[in-house]
Amino acid sequence: MCTEIFAFAGKGGVGKTSLSAAFIRILSEYFPDKRILAVDADPAVGLSMALQIQPVLTLDDIRIRIAENIESGQTAQAIELLSEAEFHLLDAIVEKDNISFLAIGRPEAAGCYCKVNAYLKQVIEMLCENYDFVVIDGEAGIEQINRRVMENITYLVLVSDASKKGISVISVIEDVANKLTSCRKSGVIFNRVRGTFNADCVSGIPPVLSVIGEDESQTENDMQGESVFSLPVESPLYQGAKTALFSLLEEN
């Protein structure tokens, strides 16, 4: 099975989570026979709310359990947990139709165990191989590009608003990703764009996949705490996400 992995990145507040959720919805609707893994790699667990899927266990819960056993000297139990990590990971996955959901949990803290983290990353990579599509909602900034599940990806989807800061952040992320990750293709979605904006005039960024204006239906959807599946298909967010998604898929 050839797994296609979409990883979303960009500065905070530009709508990465909403777009990640929209990608997941569109993939589930257009490819109902395919298996989709949604990975919430943001400690804020926004993707969980956007999909209305509640995790009961996170990857970090598993990591902490192993690390605590090592700290307390219970090496045998830690080794046993590591050997069974794949099974524990399956316990952390929540299923909804053809979508599986996995939450990464809190960021790694000082004193974390590199070998444990590296092993769990390998387990995640093996898990991804069981899916046709994987969509990763990353946390804001560049820190996560070289961590855990974002090391080997198919598509890097950079999300920005029309601000200079947003554009600067995605430029830096693109540069870091080129050095530290294996990525087939990257592209940019400009979201929450107000007024006149010519994306073709922006230099130093990957190809623009779509430009999405203000979306009142998405704002209302968020305020009401509704899932992305309640969003009208004619909404700018849905249509912009669809354009971007199929632009990536059609080119490969």
CA angle 22–23–24, rounded 5-degree value: 90
Report the pLDDT value the prediction gives residue 6, as an integer from 0 to 100: 93
Report the pLDDT value the prediction gives residue 222, as an integer from 0 to 100: 87
Q: What's this model's pTM, rounded to 2 decimal places?
A: 0.86
Report the pLDDT value the prediction gives residue 144, as an integer from 0 to 100: 53
pLDDT tens by residue, 216-244: 999 899 888 899 999 999 999 999 999 99
Residues of the chain with pLDDT under 70: 1, 66-87, 106-121, 123, 140-151, 251-252
4-250: in CATH 3.40.640.10: no
Report the pLDDT value the prediction gives residue 41, as an integer from 0 to 100: 80
Secondary-structure breakdown of the chain: helix, strand, coil percentages, each rounded to the nearest 5: 45, 20, 30
The Cα–Cα gap between 71 and 12 comes to 34
pLDDT tens by residue, 117-161: 565 567 677 788 889 999 988 876 555 554 545 567 899 999 999
- Where exactly are the structural domains of the chain? 4-250
